[in-house]
Chain A
Amino acid sequence: MRYGMVINQKRCIGCDACTIACKQANGTPPGVFWGHVVHKETGRYPKAIMEYTPLLCKHCQDPSCVKVCPTGASVKDNDGIVHIIAEKCIGCRQCLVVCPYEARWFQPQKPEGYYPQKGLSPKEELDLSKFTKGKVTKCNFCMDKVHTGMNPVCVTTCPADARVFGDLDDLNSKAAKLLRERKFAQLAGQYGTNPSVFYI
């Protein structure tokens, strides 16, 4: 089994619904973006285009972050999801160094909320307790939801249906079919980590 995601950049309209879906569902602190979209104007008139590149952890098949983790905090589950067991993380940040995708976020201090002069909101009180000083965090494909049969929130919310999530090993999954039918790319493939997030 290999959970993965196919992102259709032709469908992406750069709206950032995924970015904010991730933030509010996972309660990440200000400045931390497990998922986000790079907006980049490229080319010259009349061929210029605004490129939208949605980024998140690639849940690599051969994740260098897992390899270098000295405590076993970074793990890849049998379903392909790469995540961090917070209790085991000692904050050494070796995983940040080796991740080709800058998908990991270190929490250098106790997180502040979005309204630094106003204290924490009730939601932030609940959310930020999960973000401990000195730990590394990252996208976990919304594994709690995935384990109940739901999709990651960035997939569910996409107003343009640009993302497809599924078991890439299941030939009947929509994601696997797309990869059979369409040309695709993996970002930074030269690092040999075999990411499970594909771009078509």
Chain B
Amino acid sequence: METLAKISALSGIGNDLKVFTENRAPAAGEEVWKPAFCSFCHNPVCATRIKVVNGVATEVMGDPTSEINRGRLCPRGMSVLNNLYNPYRVKTPLKRTNPVKGLNEDPGWIEISWEEALDTVAQKINEAKASDPRTILYCTGFGVEESMLTFPYFATFETPNILVVPGTLCPEHFNQLALNGMMLDRIDLQYVEYVVEVGRSMGSDWAAASGHSTHYADALERGMQIVSVNPRCTHSGQRGEWVPIMPGTDTAFGLALLHTILHEIKKYDMHWLKIRSNAPYLIEPIFETVNGVKICRQDYVRDPQTDKPLVWDEAIKEAVPFDHAKGETYALTGTYEVNGKTVQTSLQILMDYVKELTPEWAEPITTIPAAKIREIANNLVEKARIGSTIEIDGYAFPYRPAAVFMGRGMASHMLGVDAAKALGTVNLLLGNLDVPGGILGTSNANWSTLRSDKDGVLEPHMQMANQIVGGDVHFPPQKIDMGDFYPMGHAAIPFIWKSILNPQEHYLDYEPQVMLIYGGDPLGSIANIELASEAMKKIPFIATVSYHFDLPTQFADIILAENSPLERTEMYRVFRNEKEATHENRGLMGTLVRRPVVENVYNTRLAQSIFIDLTEKTGGLAKLNMITNHDFYTRIDESFPPGLSGEYALDPGKKYSYEEIIDRKICSDYGPEALEEFEKCAFKPFRLPLKQSYNYWYVPENSIRLPLYYERMARNGKKLLAQLAEFKATLPGQDMKQVEVHYSALPNWYQSPSWETTKEFPFKVVNWKIHYGPNNTGGMYENAYMQETIDFSNPYLKCIWIAESVAEEMGLKEGDTIIVESAAGGKTKGKIHLSQFIHSKCIGVPGNFGRRTLFMNPVKNTGVHFNSLLSVDESTLNPISLSLESSPQVKFYKT
């Protein structure tokens, strides 16, 4: 009691805030280890144990009985106790007294009761709902990923404006959705022998404890070869070969690989392409030139009777619908006359398209020597063992142990979608998708069977499916982020600020009245913070559910104080294993359950309980209960229905605590005896038979075809233009011709003066995730253990990387302080590190350090702020995915 009283007396936020109205006694008792699970990355699957001594959590360890992490835990998970006992937390509900909002304003917080806080927020929501539910904005992000019940709460507020904030800097999902049918992929480290990483890094970028790092280390020891194509030399690049590339030129690299394979090596997986891709589909070879860029937007040549895409069957020498036969007799290349038209196969179209895009063409663009591009292409083809099979559990799979493994560094550019198309097609030519040794979807098909569309082509249907499937334009737009105008977009947070400030220019017929923020930081996660600040000031009422005083709280009217993970009841469904996989984890799924391991340290509440109360106060409880009954957590097997079934279903007219809902879900899935099981270990596994852990097994040949020709994209673009014309609208701020350019069915390459280095701005800047805080969850940048460890052990992170040879030429020394200026207008400052690991035409800024805040732990304010160098608007966002050009031109000079 004395300890907690002391914290109470000494805590606060820099003023005289009194946080405890009464002292709370720690629970008496012996030393005990309690089960929990970690929540500090967006694959929160590691089970832990927490030692509690007289009510105080004193130690964390990975749970050795957990099949998923086997006692391991990464540095983020190891830092949880400083998250729990962080005295800079928000400790009680707060109300602003200073009406002036701003990044540098003291809000003048005063403590209020939970009742007053919730009543105030509910009243504002009710008023907005009554006038126009669209005026309610919800911002969320990676901070809620351990809880899948968050979105149903939002649904009960009836607004279309659910805004997921981190997307702009990591829209890396297009490739996986197109070729694996899921938003994420993983590489098969059980078998892969040759990996070309492009803008990605295995192992060390996350240091995940759920098997990935171990599998990576195992693969290194068994001799897996890695080629890392990246402006920065990653851990895997050091263990293999680093091929430096200019940022944003991955598309040219991919196109040159395609040229080499198709025109020089002339060996690829023809059987695979015939039966499992749209390569045989016939197209009229008609190209257009838009804004100087050659694009192709042709529909498939279709059967007049069935409307099905036609292929050329060499066995009968005529065009037939794609599903006429298995495909082995379909022509892959060639020009044919069909229904009076001259047509070519999709593969022929692609071959002709890349004919001039030689390695020599790509060399000055990418800075990769032509010979190296050829070497990589040859190695990929040779090591893919095209034609070989491997038997697993008595089932013969294609065996393709070579792959291109792409990531955010490839995708976060103006041509990120095109890079994904070009490099994804390399994988398609190798035939390595969802088979042993290759690139795999993260979920297995018993949970989400891969589907094809009416044309036989893979059609994603789960999370983020819109990025392939597209959608309709709504006019006037319902969503404030202009998502209605970007049917294949990832997330469009930057547009909300402009929409809020200039609603009429964005065709909006409403203005936001209430903003709720939970689990995401729409200010810190992106650039243009001044614009965002002005927009936030314009919103009449803002409430946040907050663990700490991050930037959005500077604009909040009410803060609802949130529990730390170890104070939370939570359930997570392990339905996917990301990044790297082996037999150990590929088919491993299950359920994680955490109970609070200590009493709340402060006067905080479980966020889910806060939302249940708000839902009740805003009349949405019955709807919430029905959504929960139907949807709460997905199935992992046919025997586990989603939601709550039978006697465990919620009565729509009754209010339930979140704890009770979790208990009911456990009982619904496993029966009441499972309640006790979770008291021993937080993770209850479910394991698929080995062969079922490869999605190829679920979709035999010719039941789905993967896109080589992105007809769906061209179709989406044409639909967008037609619908906009119907509404006599254009995309606000966009050059519509340039938008058209991006909706080509083939991978584009074009250059823009704003991307290339110039005499004034002779460098480009790159940024990368660091495993100490890869996606900003868990407050790692203010965690005392984490930041002290970085400062003590790793001198290469809170600084700016410059190639040593460049620094020497410029007379710069290790530790000099420089100012970096971006052509986009921003500046940042920091000490330099002279490195061997950065492209000589680039500088590097690691991680997400240096976001200045007033009331968080001061360690938060250390390091170099990368996002200051970015500008986010229509000219820097890919109009398909809304991926940001994250490597602006820069110059720098010594202070």
Contacts and interface: CB of A to CB of B under 8 A. Distances in A.
Say if A and B assemble together.
yes
Interface string A104-147: 00000000001101111111111100000000000000000000
A91 interface: no
B831 to A, nearest CB: 15
Contacts of B212: 159
Contacts of A114: 82, 784-785, 788
B208 A125 contact: no
A20 B786 contact: yes
B334 to A, nearest CB: 43
A37 B74 CA distance: 14
B785 A159 contact: no
Interface in B757-800: 771-772, 784-786, 788-790, 792-796
A122 B26 contact: yes
A184 B208 CA distance: 27
B207 A122 contact: no
A157 B209 contact: yes
Contact of B789 (A16, A44, A115): A16
B235 A44 contact: no
Interface stretch (A46-54, A74-82, A165-173): A46-54
Interface string A2-45: 00000010110111110111011101001101001111010111
A153 interface: yes
Interface in B43-94: 53, 56-62, 64, 71-75, 77-79, 81-82, 85-88
Given A17-B207, A48-B836, A121 B7 contact: yes
A158 B213 CA distance: 9
A124 to B, nearest CB: 8
Nearest to B71: A156
B61 A153 contact: yes
A161 interface: yes
Contacts of B796: 39, 41, 50
A85 interface: no
Contacts of A115: 86-88, 784, 857
A49 B804 CA distance: 14
A162 interface: yes
B11 A48 contact: no
B207 A159 contact: yes
B17 interface: no
Contacts of B214: 159-161
A110 to B, nearest CB: 15
A13 B793 contact: no
B61 A156 contact: yes
A43 B11 CA distance: 47
Contact of B217 (A17, A118, A160): A160
B789 A39 contact: no
Contacts of A21: 61, 73, 78
A160 B216 contact: yes
A115 B6 CA distance: 13
B775 to A, nearest CB: 16
Interface string B503-529: 000000000000000000000000000
B670 to A, nearest CB: 28
A159 B235 CA distance: 15
Contacts, number: 183
Contact of A120 (B6, B71, B203, B204): B6
Nearest to A47: B836
A10 B207 contact: no
Interface residues of A, number: 51
Interface string B190-227: 00000000000001100111001110110011000000
Contacts of B242: 45-46
A78 to B, nearest CB: 27
Interface size grouping (class) on chain B: 35 or more
Contacts of B4: 122
Contacts of A19: 75, 789, 792-793
A13 B56 contact: no
Nearest to B53: A126
A48 B837 contact: yes
B558 interface: no
Contacts of B804: 44
A62 B167 CA distance: 56
A31 B788 CA distance: 8
Given A160-B214, A162-B217, A123 B56 contact: yes
B10 interface: yes
A127 B835 CA distance: 39
B601 interface: yes
B58 A127 contact: yes
Nearest to B244: A45
User: Which of the listed residues A8, A13, A41, A125 has the most CB atoms from chain B within 10 Å of its own CB?
Assistant: A13
User: Which of the listed residues A11, A21, A27, A119 has the most CB atoms from chain B within 10 Å of its own CB?
Assistant: A21
A25 B33 CA distance: 13
Contacts of A162: 217
Contacts of B6: 119-120, 125
Contacts of A24: 59-60, 78-79, 81-82, 785
B79 A48 contact: no
A195 B584 CA distance: 35
Contact of A44 (B11, B71, B79, B836): B836
A152 B235 CA distance: 26
Given A17-B78, A119-B10, A156 B62 contact: yes
A56 B57 CA distance: 25
B463 interface: no
B789 A123 contact: no
B238 interface: yes
A44 B3 CA distance: 52
Contacts of A37: 793
A32 B81 CA distance: 17
A157 B38 CA distance: 13
B607 interface: no
Nearest to A37: B793
Contacts of B772: 16
Contact of A50 (B86, B88, B837): B837
A157 B793 contact: no
Contacts of B81: 24, 123
Nearest to A50: B238
Interface in B777-836: 784-786, 788-790, 792-796, 804, 835-836
B532 interface: no
B237 to A, nearest CB: 10
Nearest to B771: A15
Interface in B1-44: 3-4, 6-7, 9-11, 26
Contacts of B204: 13-15
Contacts of B72: 17, 156-159, 161
B217 A11 contact: yes
A122 B73 contact: no
Interface of B: 3-4, 6-7, 9-11, 26, 53, 56-62, 64, 71-75, 77-79, 81-82, 85-88, 203-204, 207-209, 212-214, 216-217, 220-221, 233, 235, 238-239, 241-242, 601, 771-772, 784-786, 788-790, 792-796, 804, 835-837, 857
16 contacts: A8-B217, A13-B235, A16-B772, A20-B75, A20-B79, A44-B836, A48-B238, A50-B796, A118-B7, A120-B7, A121-B7, A125-B3, A126-B56, A159-B212, A161-B72, A161-B217
Interface of A: 8, 10-11, 13-17, 19-21, 23-25, 27, 30-31, 33, 36-39, 41, 43-46, 48-50, 114-115, 117-127, 153, 156-162
The 4 closest A-B pairs by CB, nearest first: A15-B207, A48-B836, A121-B85, A114-B784
